[in-house]
C-alpha cells in the first residue's frame, strides 16, 4: 500500500526535535508532536502503525495524522510551533467599574413583580441603565460567575 505522507527526518531536524522535546519551556502539545514525528520517522527502520503511535504518545489517531500531514506539507517549523492568530482576541467590554455596577445591581432588590434577579433580567437592566450599550447574557453570567455570585 502506498502511503500518502511519509516522515523522513534529517539529522538537523532530529536534533531540533530532541532539543524541543527536552526543553523546559516546551508545551505538552508540542512535546506530543515531537514524539509523533520521532516515532513516525521512516529513517529509523520499521515504524509502528498510526494507531500504535497514538496509543504510545497518548493522543488521538487524528492528531497523529494531522501532525504527519503538517510535517509533509509545511515542514518542521510550522509543525512544531503554534500559529499566531490572524486577528487578536476582542477585549472584554466589562471593565472594573462596569463589573462593580453589574455586581451592585445583582445584589440589589429585584424589580417589582420578580422574586429574584435572572441573567436575562440583569442583561436587560444593564442595557436600560446605559451601563453598557449592548451586552449578551453570557457576558453577564461570566461576570457573576467570576465573583462566585449566585442569583438564587
Q: Is residue 151 part of a domain?
A: no
Q: Are 56 and 110 in a shared domain?
A: no
**Total domains present in the chain:** 2
Q: Are 73 and 105 in a shared domain?
A: no
Q: Are 20 and 61 in a shared domain?
A: yes
Q: Which cell is 38 given?
A: 520521532
Q: Are 139 and 114 in a shared domain?
A: yes
Q: Are 37 and 73 in a shared domain?
A: yes
pLDDT at 1: 46
pLDDT at 2: 59
Task: Check residue 58 and report its DSSP letter.
Answer: T
Q: Is residue 30 part of a domain?
A: yes
DSSP 60-110: -HHHHHHHHHHHHHH-HHHHTSPPPPSSPPPPPS--HHHHHHHHHHHHSPP
Q: Are 19 and 66 in a shared domain?
A: yes
The domain of 132 spans 96-146
Q: Is residue 21 part of a domain?
A: yes
CA 109 to chain centre: 38
Q: Are 109 and 138 in a shared domain?
A: yes
Q: Are 74 and 100 in a shared domain?
A: no
pLDDT at 4: 82
Q: Is residue 84 part of a domain?
A: no
The pTM score is 0.60
Per-residue pLDDT of the chain (152 residues; tens, 9 = 90+): 457 888 888 889 999 999 988 888 889 999 999 999 999 988 888 888 999 999 999 999 999 999 999 999 999 899 998 888 888 888 888 889 999 999 999 999 999 999 999 999 999 999 999 999 999 999 999 999 998 888 87
Q: Are 100 and 71 in a shared domain?
A: no
Select from 79, 104, 130 the last residue of a domain. Answer: 79
CA distance 8 to 37: 9
Amino acid at each position: 500500500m502506498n502511503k500518502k505522507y511519509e516522515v523522513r527526518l534529517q539529522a538537523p531536524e532530529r536534533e531540533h526535535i530532541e532539543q524541543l522535546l527536552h526543553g523546559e519551556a516546551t508545551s505538552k502539545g508540542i512535546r506530543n508532536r515531537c514524539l509523533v514525528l520521532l516515532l513516525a520517522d521512516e529513517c529509523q527502520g520499521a515504524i509502528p502503525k498510526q494507531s500504535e503511535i497514538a496509543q504510545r504518545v497518548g493522543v488521538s489517531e487524528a492528531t497523529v495524522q494531522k501532525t504527519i500531514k503538517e510535517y509533509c506539507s509545511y515542514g518542521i517549523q510550522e509543525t512544531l510551533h503554534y500559529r499566531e492568530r490572524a486577528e487578536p482576541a476582542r477585549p472584554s467590554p466589562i471593565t472594573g467599574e462596569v463589573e462593580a455596577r453589574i455586581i451592585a445591581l445583582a445584589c440589589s432588590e429585584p424589580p417589582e413583580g420578580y422574586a429574584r434577579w435572572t441573567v436575562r433580567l440583569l442583561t436587560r437592566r444593564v442595557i436600560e441603565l446605559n451601563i453598557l450599550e449592548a451586552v449578551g447574557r453570557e457576558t453577564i453570567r461570566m461576570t457573576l460567575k467570576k465573583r462566585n455570585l449566585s442569583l438564587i
